[in-house]
Amino acid sequence: MPELTIGVLASGRGSNLQSILDAIGEGRLEARVAVVISDNREAMALERARSRGIPAFFVDYKAYPAKADYERVVVRLLNKYGVELVCLAGYMRIATPVLLDAFPNRILNIHPSLLPSFPGLHAQRQALDYGVRYSGCTVHFVDQGVDSGPIILQAVVPVLKDDTEETLSARILAEEHKIYVEAIRLYQRGCLEIEGRRVRIKDIDENK
């Protein structure tokens, strides 16, 4: 299987980016992060990339009157670095058709809830407030909606009696780091097939 060229879009801390880089470094993922792009100049994700010698760019969406123009710059950078798969990792913007059409079925996202429950912002707080007994995280293909694309992998964690948003988020984050890497590995190996809303995982389903 050829090495996969990944571009990561991130707005903040970048721990999912870090787990992808660690998996590559440890030989668990046959991939290369070719570029990291952020809409936040201060994003720690940019620092993490630069410290590894990975090209990292801040693109200021406020500098572009139309969101499509901002995204055209992002797409140009992704193409310049030969990106095959775009991984959104804590990226706070909704993709428009500019990005979606440039990378059809080639954009993944990680979300800290068991979708379709609790899409959007503050998913962990939403889960606590609702009173669910279990929450978790989801890796999905990105479509034009908010956290609404076909689901690839999910992981479940319990919600404990004394959980705060912080403790629940930390428990979920540990699972995010595992399933995002696993979903990228499945993509890289050509195991993912989208059938309507459903994603068929070939090497798992075919051994049943």
- When asked if residue 12 is in the footprint of ligand GRF (CB under 6 A), the reply is yes
Q: What span, in angstroms and rounded, lies between the C-alpha atoms of 60 and 70?
A: 8
48 scored as a contact of ligand GRF (CB under 6 A)? no
Give the nearest distance from C-beta 86 to ligand GRF in angstroms. Answer: 14
Residues 96-155 that bind ligand GRF (CB under 6 A): 110-112
What are the respective helix, strand and coil percentages of the chain, to the nearest 5? 40, 25, 40
Nearer to ligand GRF, 120 or 190 (CB): 120
C-alpha closest to that of 112 among 159, 162, 168:
168
Residue range at the interface with ligand GRF (CB under 6 A); choices 14-22, 50-58, 64-72, 182-190? 14-22
- Short-list 54, 56, 25, CA closest to 43: 56
CB of 15 to ligand GRF, least distance (A): 3
Residues 6, 7, 16, 188: which binds ligand GRF (CB under 6 A)?
Answer: 16
Contact between 137 and 118 (Cβ < 8 Å): no
Token pair belonging to 131: 């009173």
Binding site for ligand GRF (CB under 6 A): 10, 12-16, 89-90, 110-112, 173, 176
